[in-house]
Structures are given as C-alpha cells and as structure tokens.
Amino acid sequence: MKTHRKLKTLGRFGLSAVAAAMLLLSPADSSRAAGEGATLPSIDWSFSGPFGTFDQGQLQRGYKVFREVCSACHSMNLVSFRNLAEEGGPGFSPEQVKVIASEFEVEDGPNDDGDMFMRPAIASDRFPTPFDNEQIARLANGGAFPPDLSLLAKARVGGVDYLYALLTGYEEAPADMELAVGMNYNAYFPGHQIAMPQPIFEGSVDYDDGTPGTVDNYSQDVAAFMMWAAEPKLEARHKLGFKVFLFLLIFSGLLYAAKRKVWSTVH
C-alpha cells in the first residue's frame, strides 16, 4: 500500500513538472495595453517562442542604432563589450569587439599620483554612462533622467513590443490635448506625454548591409538588441528548457510504466 502511494505521488509530481515546464516554455503575452487603451503591435520576433533564436544581423544593426543614437543619452552599464562576441549574441569577432570598445572612454585609476584618468575602453569593460552623474544627466535632458537600457526590455510591461511601439509612436498631439512644457506626444506611452523627443527619423543611421533606413526597421532592430542585452542567455535557456521538458516527459512515462508494472497482478 505504501509503495502504491509513493508511486502515485511521484506520478503526480512528474505530470505537474511537465505542466510547469510547458508553462515556462510558452511565450509571454506582450500585447497588453500601454496606457489608456493603446494596444501594442505584435511583432513576429525571431527569438519568440520556446525555440526562438536571435537574428545576428538584426542585433548588429540594433547595436549600430544604439551606438549612433541611444548611447548619447542612455547607459547600458550591465553589459560588457566582450558580451558582444559571446555565443547567442550579435556575433562580433573578438577583434571587432576590441575596435568597438576603443571607441569609448572609461574612467580608471588611481595612477601613481593618486589621480583618476580616462583611457580607451577594453573588451572587459562595461558600456560607460554618457554622463558623470544623475544631476548632469537631468540638466542635459530638461529635468528627465534617461533610464539605463540594460534591462529595460524586461522591466517594461509589454517588453520588447512596448519598446518598438514607443519608438514608432511619436505623433502630433490631438487638437483637444495640451502638452506640458518640454513634453512630446506618444501614442503608447502611459499618459501619452513623454519627455524624450523622437530619437530616430528616416535615414538617421546608414546600415552596412543595405537594409532600408526606416523608422520601423530602426525601431525593430534596436528593440531586439535591447532584448538581447536584457537576456543574453535566452538561446541557452531555450535549449535547456527543451532538454528539461523532454526529460520530464520521459520520466513521467517511466513512472507510469512502473506503476502499471507493480500493480499488474492486482485485480
């Protein structure tokens, strides 16, 4: 009798574990409203779903948009330059990463005289902030503090769909709406008034691979890059999740077979 209860409990555990794995592997719903009924557009991202992978070309284009547009105001200080060459990322070579890092300057020190100094960044450095402190950042941006982009794709309701929608959502304010001083109208920002002016326009960035320089392409590419920055191990997680799901499926089958075997002689 005790054996029967144990097998029954294990069987329930196995089936529950499979159900949990299926829940974890299922894509999150990112089509929720972004404020006052504005429904987010649903983009068919290459990394969506349990078997999704990042498009290296898109990530490289997204980095170019970040470098030439976003990095002027926003930091990404949880990401190191060497991450750009890691598996599952943009696919830059170590030599390319060295060149990319050298385009930035970071503070180092103290030197032999006890002073801090600036030097070109190296692969092990993290992306530096464009401002020395929050006060200077606010002064340069009309009182608003540009958020760090490292985890923004996971921190906002709607995730990467919201980021894409925000970048494409700049419009003329309705005639019956009065914007506060220094604010801009955005269809997807909560309250529709955002301090950040429209950051990208047609032709703002020249793509090396010939991809058309449209606001839609820029927005998708940099949003995908920010998603990778927020979850650089996404592809590895998807692969591990599939292996765990397969293991739990086989394990549940073995538990069921063991139960049938043990109780096959009992009528």
pLDDT tens digit sequence for 135-164 = 999 999 989 999 999 999 999 999 999 999
Query: pLDDT tens for residues 7-46?
Result: 344 344 333 333 333 333 444 444 444 445 478 998 999 9
Provide the domain limits for residue 189.
31-78+132-232
The answer as to whether 3 is a domain residue is yes
The answer as to whether 86 is a domain residue is yes
Domain check: are 193 and 92 in the same one? no
Distance from chain centroid for Cα 174: 32
* Region label for 142, one of left (φ > 0), alpha (ψ between -120 and 50) or beta (otherwise): left
Residue 105 has pLDDT above 70, yes or no: yes
Instruction: Look at residue 139 in the predicted model and tell me its pLDDT.
Output: 93
Residues in the chain: 267
Domain check: are 171 and 44 in the same one? yes
The total number of structural domains in the chain stands at 3
Domain check: are 46 and 136 in the same one? yes
The answer as to whether 265 is a domain residue is yes
Q: What is the pTM of this model?
A: 0.80
Domain check: are 42 and 122 in the same one? no
